[in-house]
């Protein structure tokens, strides 16, 4: 599905399409804008749709802070969409990082520190060496000690998918959670432009049901299954 097809579907539900259902008569820009706003809202949350495994960051000797990461070697929606790099600010949660391979020849896991503890590691010293710890702050990843050479760091994270802007743009949200995105956009259009609170509430109920279904799927896919509820 594309932005254009999702927008047309929304227009039909609002009675804003022509009689043949092939063109949007009005509110086209507003509908597309609210589709984007709905995606931005869900992009801030972690779901299996936003998981990315195997992104990389190549350090530079003497450089502590990094603002972008490489997606070309990883697996996830971002890679399948042809996305090659992403700003650290687009990372929702960073789940795992390691030096790949480490100085010992093994994949050495790096531990995460709070920003305050990370900065305190530098107090009274200017360490350089093999990366051991990291932190995330102000849209950047900090590495301790400051790398003394080029190291390849491997990590997995939840990364915000690209928000579609052109009619031909696709999205993992359209493929896997389209009902939720459409209902969220329709709710917003009704509230902001049509002043129709009754219909907004109806679409909100559809959105909520779809969201809870997505959350259940995410829980099932990420659960260890060691403790199971009655099914």
pLDDT band at 226 (very low <50, low <70, confident <90, very high): low
User: What pLDDT is recorded for position 104?
Assistant: 60
User: What pLDDT is recorded for position 78?
Assistant: 66
Q: Is pLDDT of 99 > 70? A: yes
**Mean pLDDT value of segment 61-85:** 84
Q: Is pLDDT of 185 > 60? A: yes
28-32, 48-52, 57-61, 106-110: least confident range:
106-110
Q: Distance (Å, rounded) from C-alpha 162 to C-alpha 78? A: 8
Counting residues of the chain whose pLDDT is more than 90, the rounded percentage is 82
Q: Is pLDDT of 106 > 70? A: no
**Mean pLDDT value of segment 190-208:** 98
User: What pLDDT is recorded for position 80?
Assistant: 59
**Mean pLDDT value of segment 180-197:** 98
User: What pLDDT is recorded for position 230?
Assistant: 45
pLDDT band at 83 (very low <50, low <70, confident <90, very high): confident
Q: Is pLDDT of 37 > 60? A: yes
pLDDT band at 166 (very low <50, low <70, confident <90, very high): very high
Rg (CA), the chain: 22
Q: Map the chain to HEC letters.
A: CCHHHHHHHHHHHHCCECCCCCCECCCHHHHHHHHHHHHHHHHCCCCHHHEEEEEEEECCCCCCEECEEECCCCEEHHHHCCCCEEEHHHEEEEEEEEECCCCCCCCEECEECCHHHHHHHCCCCCCEECCCEEEEECCEEEEECEECCCCEEEEEEEECCCCCCCCCCCCHHHHHCHHHHHHHHHHHHHHHHHCCHHHHHHHHHHHHHHHHHHHHHHHHHHCCCCCCCCC
- pLDDT tens-digit readout, 128-161: 999 999 999 999 999 999 999 999 999 999 999 9
pLDDT band at 231 (very low <50, low <70, confident <90, very high): very low
């Amino acid at each position: 599905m594309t932005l254009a097809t999702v927008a047309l579907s929304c227009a039909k539900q609002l009675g804003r399409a022509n009689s043949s259902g092939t063109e949007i008569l009005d509110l086209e820009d507003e509908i597309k804008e609210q589709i984007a706003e709905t995606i931005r809202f869900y992009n801030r949350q972690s779901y299996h749709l936003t998981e990315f495994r195997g992104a990389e960051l190549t350090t530079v000797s003497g450089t502590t802070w990094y603002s972008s990461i490489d997606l070309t070697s990883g697996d996830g929606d971002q890679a399948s969409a042809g996305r090659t790099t992403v700003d650290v600010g687009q990372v929702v949660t960073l789940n795992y990082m390691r030096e790949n391979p480490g100085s010992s020849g093994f994949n050495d896991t790096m531990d995460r520190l709070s920003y305050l503890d990370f900065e305190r590691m530098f107090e009274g010293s200017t360490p350089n060496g093999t990366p051991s710890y990291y932190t995330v702050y102000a849209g950047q990843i900090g590495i301790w000690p400051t790398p003394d050479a080029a190291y390849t760091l491997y990590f997995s994270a939840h990364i915000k998918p690209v928000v579609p802007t052109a009619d031909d743009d696709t999205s993992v949200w359209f493929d896997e959670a389209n009902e939720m995105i459409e209902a969220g956009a329709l709710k917003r259009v009704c509230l902001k432009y049509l002043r129709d609170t009754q219909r907004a509430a109806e679409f909100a109920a559809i959105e909520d049901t779809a969201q809870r279904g997505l959350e259940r799927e995410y829980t099932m896919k990420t659960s260890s299954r060691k403790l199971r509820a009655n099914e």
